[in-house]
Amino acid sequence: MNCPKCGTPAQAGSAHCKRCGTPLSAKGPKAAAAAPSSSDEIDLMPLEESKTPAYSAYEPPPGLAVGPPPPGGAEPPGPDGLPPLDAPVRKIRGAMASPQRLPINMIVGAVVGVLLLGGLGWMSFRTKDEIKVGKPKFEKPYTVQPGQVFVEDFEATGVVPYTLELTVTDGEVLTGVIKRNPKDPRKLDAIKSLNEPLESVRKGEPWTKSGEFRHKEQWSFVVANETKKVARLKVKFQAQP
């Protein structure tokens, strides 16, 4: 027996065509509706109307306690759809991110290192206040013959204050601290030609001179006797930065 609709061969006793489902034993739609369904037929039940659930699929059912959010997850929104006030603020990356904290320890260490290096450099290259030529301190007696001249040369770096004390015990002398080149002649006439002041000191008259030797200036302490009598004196000199 073949299907009257599609012509597919059907086995004997089959009520419907296996290919298109057309009834084989009944003739017409009324017979098909009256004929009882066989085991090969599928009875379709009408669909029930969908019911609105009592709660949303994205919200917990009423009465169920909401646990903490999973690690790294978002905080569940509040009743008005906004995040709760006690929710942790997530860090924002990009242009709106908070500025990166400065490494305070590194900055402080760098500043201290620069100051130390600057101090060491200044100590290495600074001009030291000291006497380069001559004795910075001495105390001794002098015996000056008529026409004789004693000269002590000094040269300093930086600024060095000095103090000179002279006491004549016998006779009379000319003395002073003057600017002169140590290579100049040491005769009294040559010293007087420099137009530097020399003072006359007699026996029993105390004489004191103080001042400063400045950087790379050349100075001389002069004692001269232009009388015809021997002069004796004591000198105390000290130059200290």
Q: Where are the domains of the chain?
A: 1-33, 131-239
pLDDT digits (tens, 9 = 90+) for 148-190: 999 999 998 888 999 999 999 999 999 999 998 888 898 888 8
CA distance 177 to 208: 11
pLDDT digits (tens, 9 = 90+) for 55-72: 566 566 666 665 665 555
Give the pLDDT band (50/70/90) at residue 129.
confident
Give the pLDDT band (50/70/90) at residue 31.
very low
Backbone angles phi, psi at 62, to 5 degrees: -60, 140
State the pLDDT at residue 17: 77
Q: Which fold has domain 131-239?
A: Jelly Rolls (2.60.120)
Are the C-beta atoms of residues 224 and 185 closer than 8 Å to each other? no
State the pLDDT at residue 145: 93
Mean of the pLDDT values across residues 67-79? 59
Are the C-beta atoms of residues 159 and 212 closer than 8 Å to each other? yes
| AA identity, residue 109 | G
| Between 216 and 231, the higher pLDDT residue | 231
Mean of the pLDDT values across residues 123-152? 86
State the pLDDT at residue 26: 47
Mean of the pLDDT values across residues 106-123? 77
Give the pLDDT band (50/70/90) at residue 28.
very low
Catalogue the E-assigned strands of the chain: 130-133, 137-144, 149-157, 159-170, 172-179, 199-202, 206-214, 218-224, 231-239
Mean of the pLDDT values across residues 86-99? 58
> What is the percent of the chain where pLDDT is above 90?
26
pTM (global) more than 0.75: no
DSSP string, 19-48: TT--BSSS-SHHHHHHSPP-TT--PPPPPP
Helix (H, G, I), strand (E, B) or coil at 119: helix
CA distance 168 to 143: 10
